Amino acid sequence: MKMKPIIFNIQRISMHDGPGVRTTVFFKGCSLNCKWCHNPESISRAFELKVEQQLCTGCGKCVDTCKAKACSLRDGHFKLDREKCRYDFSCVGRCYFKALEKVGKMVPISEILTEVLKDRKMYEISGGGVTLSGGEPLLQPDAAEELLRELHSEGIHTAVDTAGLVSWRAFERIIPYTDLFLYDLKAWEEEVHIRCTGASNRIILDNFDKLEMEADIFVRIPVVEDMNADQLPYLADFLKNRRHVKKIELLSYHRLGKTKYENLGYEFKDFITPSWEKMLRYKELFMETGCEVTAVS
């Protein structure tokens, strides 16, 4: 268990990443760049610097330690010149009030196991378990396989949240140790998928067809009114009569990631949130698939 995956969070008592009460391990790095992503810290595999201005007291200790002169104070407010920043994170250790935070860390599998097994009893009581999410956990297939294998040997229910843009070999490696896949679908038409995510969906759909023959799947579809809502009828048709698709979740776009973008120095792009009435109409589209369908606002 010497493998050290790059992760950015371990979230205990998670209620939305599979059945029951779960612990979600978030892997850093993604093969897509969805314009509406609510976890922008998951996209790059590189370590990043998060700045929470509201926690800054203006003490100036970060300025004193920054050799690149990227940190400064202006009228008592912290400023970061990200073009100058060398990302050695020396400033993080001097910030006693946690206004500066390194996003991403390499954590041994053994330490991750110790953390997630703290809630074993909760998993047993609720029918929950551990979910690997991201980012895209299958971009780190060695670590994902090792962690899932260890969890499987402990009798823990395992789930993997994936966008599917990885080699089929990555799926083959983890299928024996994965009880459930949470598979994200964004669009049916390739040009729309490229516009929304920056990548083609041909491999994603091909992998889905293969995976659906071998494993149980919860399909998750983000609904972004002005980006992919017109794709929903095509996706509903694609999912009809799928024996191993156990559930379809329609997830309404929200703006909860806005602060994350600002703290990481990224531009936040806003989109239209569908009304609850529209979400119910979209839900009706998918009822014909024969699967359980939920809509989440």
Per-residue pLDDT reduced to its tens digit, 197-229:
999 999 999 999 999 999 999 999 999 999 999
> What tokens were used for 103?
């996003």
Read off the pLDDT band of 1 (50, 70, 90).
Answer: low
Encode pLDDT of 280-296 as tens digits. 999 999 999 999 999 99
Q: For residues 185 and 219, is the Cβ–Cβ distance under 8 A?
A: yes
Say yes or no to pLDDT of 12 above 80.
yes
CATH no., domain 6-45+105-296: 3.20.20.70
The architecture of the domain spanning 48-103 is: 2-Layer Sandwich (3.30)
**Mean pLDDT over all residues of the chain?**
96
Domain boundaries, the chain: 6-45+105-296, 48-103
Phi-psi category of 98—alpha, beta or left, where left has phi over 0 and alpha has psi -120 to 50?
Answer: left
Query: Which pLDDT score is estimated for 187?
Result: 98
Instruction: Tell me: pLDDT of 3 over 90.
Output: no
Report phi then psi at 85, rounded to 5.
Answer: -60, 130
Closest CA to 17 of 181, 239, 186, 189: 181
| CATH fold match for the domains 6-45+105-296 and 48-103 | no
* pLDDT tens, position by position, 133-186: 999 999 999 999 999 999 999 999 999 999 999 999 999 999 999 999 999 999
Assessment of whether the complete model's pTM goes beyond 0.85:
yes
Q: How many whole angstroms separate alpha carbon 177 and alpha carbon 158?
A: 7
pLDDT, residue 75, reads 84
Q: Which of 17, 50, 272 is nearest to 159 (CA)?
A: 17
Mean pLDDT of 60-64: 92
Residue 56 structure tokens: 């800054």
